[in-house]
Each structure stands twice: as C-alpha cells, then as structure tokens.
Amino acid sequence: MSEQTVPADPGIEVRTYFVRGRNALVARAEFSDLYAGLYLHQMDIGVRLDPVYDLLLRDALACLTLHCASRPRQESIAWTVNFQTPLVNLFVAGDNRLGTVVGTAFTEDVREAPHGVFFSDTAAPDQPFRRSVAEFSGDDFLRAAEVFYARSEQRPGRLFRYGEEDLVLVSAQPDCDLAWLESVDEDVVRRLDCETELSLLEQRRYRFECGCNQDRILTMLLPHMRRSPDDLFEGEEVLRLHCPRCGARHAVTRESVEARLDATRE
C-alpha cells in the first residue's frame, strides 16, 4: 500500500485464535478507539443518541466486527436488526477487504411486531448473495447475535464482555466440543489463556468508516437523473439525502448532477 493510500485511522486490532482440543474459534478486541470513531462521526453530523440506543449500536458494531474477523477476507457483511424493546432499527456493515465497519440507529417510523428480527446479508466476489432472517426476543444485542448464530449460521456462537469495551466471540468450528462451548461463561473466558491451548490465527485491523461522499452520491443519482430528472428533484434545486449506512446528511444540487451527467457523455 502506498503512502498516499494509508488510512489516517489505523483502526483497532482484532485477534483470532484456534482453541486446540475444543475446535473452537476465539475472536477478541478492545473497542474504545472504534467507539471514538463512531462518536467523532456523530459529532460531525450532529447526532447524539439516547444512552439505551447508544449501547445497542456500540454492541452491534463490536459483534459485527468480531464476526467479520472470523469470516473470509473477501466477504462484506451487513446486519439490519429490529428491536421491539426498545423500539429501534440498527444497521451495521463491515467490509473485510477494506477493514472498515459502519453503523447507525433509526428511532423514527420503526415498525412494531411481536418479535425482534435479525437480517444478515453476506456478499463476496464470485459467490451468490446470501440473506438470512432470524427472530429473537429481548433487549440485549449480544443475545440477539447468539440467536443469529444458532439459527442462521447453524452453529453456536457465544459472546462475552471481558471488559466494558473489550468483547470476545467464541464460535464453533467443525468437530467442535459443543458441550464445552455451551458451558463457557465469563469466568471460563477470563481463564482461556491459562486453561486452554490457544493458537493465534490472524491479526486484522478495522476502523469506523462509511466512505459516502459527494462523488459517490452523484454517481448513485446518475441513473435516476437519466430516467426522470423532474421526478428526482420534484421541482427543487437541491436534493437532501441521508446516508442509510452512517446517517450523514448530503445536499446535492441539480446543477452538480447535470454537470456529472454531461461529463459522462464526453
């Protein structure tokens, strides 16, 4: 990677280990710097979440990051999770190729339902797009993610808080000692280094970053501009958009879209 393309934020380090004799994978990271990136972004866009929503969003970002670190390097993963208590929709996404994660919370116009719903979308080059859906109950994102593992991944995955901002994922691999995995609790997690043989598999880095900008927004709008510019702008000269991935606000003028459209014709 050239000096010009090195990101300013190196991100947090996520380590994955293989538990010998148990055939399980452990992913662990300390997330304080990732949360700092989230808060700096929220300051930039003028967002401040209620503490209840804030905790859910932080946990969603942490769980997704650990999940991404345990998956192939070519995958991109997005989770859309509807909670009924509290009533909120969370969106988090990770790109293993770029080492980025992003997320936001939606608290308005959230549909009420008997259960929460966990949607997972996975994409990779030359692989079919995969979507799974799982229902869950409760107000704890870690428990919701465990339901996702059991029903969508069809293998156990256990999530624990090693510290306030230090989370651990223990997930089953082929021929896993499932009885041992089901018996794991916070005390066992704290003794893993002493009581199991851990082999370091990988060290990956992830940073909070969406990548939305004016250029990408313009590119996204071009097909709509070609089809029906009047319907796109509805008589206005400025189109105001919210990024669905990070909540950033973008103001796009009709003149700028027309200029980009003209440039594509040259």
54/132 same-domain check: yes
Rounded to whole angstroms, the Cα distance separating 135 from 87 reads: 15
Rounded to whole angstroms, the Cα distance separating 57 from 49 reads: 9
Boundary of a domain, candidates 191, 208, 225: 208
26/157 same-domain check: yes
Q: What angle do CA 9, 52, 211 make, to 5 degrees?
A: 30
% of the chain exceeding 90 in pLDDT = 73
161/225 same-domain check: no
CATH of the domain at 96: 3.55.30.10
Q: In this predicted structure, what is the pLDDT of residue 5? A: 53
Q: In this predicted structure, what is the pLDDT of residue 248? A: 84
Taking 70 as the threshold, does the pLDDT of residue 245 lie above it?
yes
Which pair of structure tokens corresponds to residue 231?
Answer: 């319907």
SS3 state of residue 77: strand
118/246 same-domain check: no
Boundary of a domain, candidates 172, 190, 208: 208
Cα 80 to Cα 76, 90, 118, 119: the distances in Å are 14, 6, 6, 5
43/170 same-domain check: yes
148/253 same-domain check: no
Q: Residue 258, by phi and psi: left (phi above 0), alpha (psi -120 to 50) or beta?
A: alpha
Taking 70 as the threshold, does the pLDDT of residue 68 lie above it?
yes
19-64 residue pLDDT tens: 999 999 999 999 999 999 999 999 998 999 999 999 999 999 999 9
Boundary of a domain, candidates 208, 225, 245: 208
Q: In this predicted structure, what is the pLDDT of residue 6? A: 54
227/200 same-domain check: no
30/119 same-domain check: yes
pTM of the predicted model as reported, rounded to 2 decimal places: 0.88
% of the chain exceeding 70 in pLDDT = 97
Q: In this predicted structure, what is the pLDDT of residue 3? A: 46
Stretch 106-124: mean pLDDT: 96
Q: In this predicted structure, what is the pLDDT of residue 26? A: 98
146/83 same-domain check: yes
Split at pLDDT 50, 70, 90, the class of 7 is: low
Stretch 229-236: mean pLDDT: 78
What is the per-residue DSSP string for 151-215? Answer: III-S-EEEEEEETTEEEEEEE-TT--HHHHHH--HHHHHTHHHHSEEEEEEEEEEEE-----HH
176/247 same-domain check: no
229/111 same-domain check: no
Cα 135 to Cα 80, 143, 150, 170, 219: the distances in Å are 12, 12, 11, 21, 36
55/127 same-domain check: yes
178-232 residue pLDDT tens: 999 999 999 999 999 999 999 999 999 999 999 887 777 777 777 877 888 777 7
Tell me the residue range of the domain where 51 lies.
Answer: 3-208
CATH of the domain at 239: 3.90.1280.10
What total number of domains does the chain contain? 2
